[in-house]
Structure 1
Amino acid sequence: MADHITATRRSVIAGMTAASMAVALPAQGARRRMPKGFLWGAAISAHQSEGGNVASDSWLLEHLPETVYKEPSGDACDSLNRYQQDFAIARAIGLNCYRFGIEWARIEPEPGKFSIAALDHYRRVLTDCRAHGLLPIVTYSHFTVPRWFAMRGGWEVADSADLFARFCDTATRALGDQIGMASPFNEANIHLLAKLWRGAATPEYRAKRVAMIAAAAKATNAPAFSSILFADPDRIDGNLLDAQAKAYQAIKAGPGDFLVGVTLSTQAVEPFGENSVAARLESELYGSWWDAVNASDFVGVQTYTRMRADANGLMPPPEGAELTGAGYEYYPQALGHTIRLAARKTVRPIYVTETGIGTDNDARRIAWLDASIAEVERCQAEGIAVHSYIYWSLLDNFEWTQGYGQRFGLVDVDRASFVRSMKPSARHYARLIGERR
Structure 2
Amino acid sequence: MGVTSRSIATALLALVIGAAASPAQASGTPSEEFLWGVATSGFQSEGSSPDSNWSRYSASGRTHDAIGDSVDFRHRFTEDIDRAADLGAQVFRFGVEWARVQPSPETWNDTEFGYYDAVVAHILARGMTPMITLDHWVYPGWVVDQGGWTNPKTEADWLTSAEKVVARYSGVGALWITINEPTVYVQRELTYGGITLPQAPLMFDALVRVHQSIYDRIHVLDPGARVSSNFAFIPGVSEAIDSVFTDRVSDKLDFLGIDYYYGVALDNPTAAYAAIDEFYNVTPQPEGLYDALMRYSRKYPELPLYVVENGMPTDNGNPRPDGYTRSNHLSDHVYWMERAREDGADVIGYNYWSITDNYEWGSYRPRFGLYTVDVLTDPTLTRTPTDGVETYRNIIEDNGVGPDYVPVKAPAFCSLVDPPLSCTNTTR
Counterpart residue number, 1:47: 43
Alpha carbons of 1:328 and 1:122: their partners in 2 closer, same or farther (altered >3 Å)? same
Matching residue within 77, 80, 92 for 1:83: 77
Q: 1:186 is aligned with what amino acid?
A: N
* Offset of residue 189 of structure 1: 2.5
Q: 2:230 is aligned with what amino acid?
A: T
Matching residue within 243, 264, 285 for 2:210: 243
Counterpart residue number, 1:58: 54
Counterpart residue number, 1:300: 257
Alpha carbons of 1:394 and 1:231: their partners in 2 closer, same or farther (altered >3 Å)? farther
Alignment of 1:417-436 (within 5 A): 417-436=380-399
Q: 2:136 is aligned with what amino acid?
A: H
Counterpart residue number, 2:310: 355
Whole-angstrom distance in 2 between the partners of 1:57 and 1:372: 34
Contact 1:179/1:256, CA 8 A, preserved across alignment: no
Alpha carbons of 1:419 and 1:156: their partners in 2 closer, same or farther (altered >3 Å)? same
Tell me the secondary structure at the aligned position of residue 241 of structure 1.
Answer: helix
Alpha carbons of 1:395 and 1:227: their partners in 2 closer, same or farther (altered >3 Å)? farther
Alpha carbons of 1:318 and 1:385: their partners in 2 closer, same or farther (altered >3 Å)? closer
Counterpart residue number, 1:372: 333
Any idea what the Cα deviations from partners look like across 1:363-395, whole Å, max 9, x if unmatched? 521111111001111011111111111111110
> Is 2:248 the counterpart of 1:291?
yes
Greater displacement, 158-167 / 364-373: 158-167
Alpha carbons of 1:141 and 1:344: their partners in 2 closer, same or farther (altered >3 Å)? same
Counterpart residue number, 2:358: 397
Q: What are the ranges of 5 or more consecutive residues in structure 1 without an aligned counterpart?
A: 1-34, 199-208, 214-225, 270-280
Alignment of 1:162-201 (within 5 A): 162-191=156-185
Alpha carbons of 1:242 and 1:318: their partners in 2 closer, same or farther (altered >3 Å)? closer
Tell me the secondary structure at the aligned position of residue 389 of structure 1.
Answer: strand
* Offset of residue 361 of structure 1: 2.4
Greater displacement, 332-341 / 38-47: 332-341
Whole-angstrom distance in 2 between the partners of 1:51 and 1:231: 33
Contact 2:85/2:127, CA 8 A, preserved across alignment: yes
Whole-angstrom distance in 1 between the partners of 2:219 and 2:134: 13
Aligned residues: 356
Matching residue within 348, 367, 376 for 1:407: 367
Counterpart residue number, 2:13: none
* Offset of residue 285 of structure 1: 1.4
Tell me the secondary structure at the aligned position of residue 178 of structure 1.
Answer: coil
Contact 1:267/1:338, CA 8 A, preserved across alignment: no
Tell me the secondary structure at the aligned position of residue 375 of structure 1.
Answer: helix
Counterpart residue number, 2:296: 342
Tell me the secondary structure at the aligned position of residue 189 of structure 1.
Answer: helix
Counterpart residue number, 2:140: 146
Counterpart residue number, 2:103: 109
Greater displacement, 105-114 / 38-47: 105-114
Matching residue within 115, 124, 140 for 2:118: 124
Q: What are the ranges of 5 or more consecutive residues in structure 2 without an aligned counterpart?
A: 1-30, 401-428
Whole-angstrom distance in 2 between the partners of 1:77 and 1:349: 33
> Is 2:353 the counterpart of 1:386?
no
Whole-angstrom distance in 2 between the partners of 1:240 and 1:300: 16
Contact 1:193/1:285, CA 8 A, preserved across alignment: no
Tell me the secondary structure at the aligned position of residue 137 of structure 2.
Answer: coil
Contact 2:40/2:354, CA 8 A, preserved across alignment: yes
Alignment of 1:225-304 (within 5 A): 226=194, 232-255=199-222, 257-269=224-236, 281-287=237-243, 288-304=245-261
Tell me the secondary structure at the aligned position of residue 137 of structure 1.
Answer: strand
* Offset of residue 426 of structure 1: 0.7
Whole-angstrom distance in 2 between the partners of 1:268 and 1:146: 32
Q: 1:190 is aligned with what amino acid?
A: V
TM-score under structure 2 normalisation?
0.77
TM-score under structure 1 normalisation?
0.75
Contact 1:410/1:426, CA 8 A, preserved across alignment: yes
Q: What fraction of aligned residue pairs are identical, expressed as a percent?
A: 23
Alpha carbons of 1:317 and 1:38: their partners in 2 closer, same or farther (altered >3 Å)? closer
Any idea what the Cα deviations from partners look like across 1:207-246, whole Å, max 9, x if unmatched? xx5xx64xxxxxxxxxxxx269x99522311111111111
Whole-angstrom distance in 1 between the partners of 2:118 and 2:178: 20
Contact 1:412/1:421, CA 8 A, preserved across alignment: yes
Greater displacement, 392-401 / 178-187: 178-187
* Offset of residue 169 of structure 1: 0.8
* Offset of residue 159 of structure 1: 3.0
Whole-angstrom distance in 2 between the partners of 1:194 and 1:413: 25
Whole-angstrom distance in 2 between the partners of 1:101 and 1:258: 17
Instruction: Give the structure, 1 or 2, with the largest relative contact order (CA under 8 Å, sep 6 or more).
Output: 1
Matching residue within 143, 152, 156 for 1:158: 152
Whole-angstrom distance in 2 between the partners of 1:268 and 1:427: 30
Whole-angstrom distance in 2 between the partners of 1:91 and 1:133: 8
Tell me the secondary structure at the aligned position of residue 245 of structure 1.
Answer: helix
Contact 1:324/1:358, CA 8 A, preserved across alignment: no
Whole-angstrom distance in 2 between the partners of 1:257 and 1:36: 16
